[in-house]
Amino acid sequence: MRFLLRRLAGLAVVLVVASFLVYGLLYLVPGGPMAFLLGNRSGTPEQIAAIREQYRLDDPFLVRYLAWLGDAVQGDFGSSLVYRQDVSALLTARGTTTALLVGYATAVIVVVGVAAGTVAGLRPGRADAVISTLSSASLAVPTFVIGVLLVIVFALGLGWFPVFGPGEGFLGRLHHLTLPAITLSLGSAAFLARITRASVREELGREHVETARSRGLAERHVIRRHVLRNASIPVVTVTGLTVAGLLAGSVVVENVFALDGLGSLFVRAILQRDFAVVQAVVLVLVTAFVLVNLVVDLCCKALDPRLSR
């Protein structure tokens, strides 16, 4: 419990620092915020005044930051310059898509990666060779190539999956997200399979496994209670890092599949200098990243008593 509280306090510190950096970036831009916000447009004095008002550019920096932070904590990230909409409303719509995509991809990564890695670790020989080759290949091919290939084969060729569009209802959305999720997860699943294989191999050779065998325990029991149980610790850690990485990786996939997610919103916001959106997306991503890490730490603590203090 104290561990959890300490971690939550740490999380708050990370978020404050991140938010400060995110907010401060606006003022480090060459030419100052005004030039950045206006871009190539030349605004009328009224428009400029409106922007100054909206971004409180006349207040001192810290005051502005605190005001912005106060609003952000309450879920108000201001309104988008481009979309003329509340940023939080924009984020909710896009965030759901990205969350579904990342969640879907995570499920694929864990199921495929851990299963393949375990099989490869436990059965040296042909199964191991096939899985290792496949995982090397998956690791070597870039995400966008995989995405395009999948679209050509499964969407255009076989017609099993739609090419774009969000889909209707939960199942419809999952159907639409299948190719993107596979694209997003393939490399990570291959990576996780390798980690799992190495971890299982290592545990198989451990002395305590020899002890378990010497006690006449059934091989199935030894594998489950000693080999896989212990091998799961590094696997969980790597899974967490991978999932956190997916948040960033989703940018590419969302663009390939023309999905309206946080990633594509983010890229467009940067290009269009929609600063309120950029700040909000970065903050959301950082929060998600830190939360995933917290969950991983909690899992590892539950799995490995040596980490408890």
Residues within the interface to another protein (CB under 8 A): 206-208, 210-219, 221, 225-226, 229-230, 233, 303-306
Nearer to another protein among residue 176 and residue 226 (C-beta): 226
Nearer to another protein among residue 6 and residue 229 (C-beta): 229
- The answer to whether 69 and 21 are in contact (CB under 8 A) is no
User: Least separation, in Å, of the C-beta of 127 and another protein?
Assistant: 16
Task: Calculate the CA 174 to chain-centre distance.
Answer: 18
CB-facing half-sphere around the CA of 258: CA atoms within 13 A:
6
Instruction: Kindly give, in sequence order, each residue whose CB lies less than 8 Å from that of residue 126, ignoring residues fewer than 6 positions away.
Output: none
Candidates 152, 147, 201; CA nearest to 178 is 147
- As a whole number of Å, the end-to-end CA separation of the chain is 12
Nearer to another protein among residue 6 and residue 213 (C-beta): 213
Candidates 246, 131, 254; CA nearest to 188 is 246
User: Least separation, in Å, of the C-beta of 218 and another protein?
Assistant: 7
User: Least separation, in Å, of the C-beta of 233 and another protein?
Assistant: 7
Residue with tokens 């932070």: 69
User: Least separation, in Å, of the C-beta of 11 and another protein?
Assistant: 26
Nearer to another protein among residue 230 and residue 250 (C-beta): 230
Nearer to another protein among residue 64 and residue 301 (C-beta): 301
User: Least separation, in Å, of the C-beta of 4 and another protein?
Assistant: 20
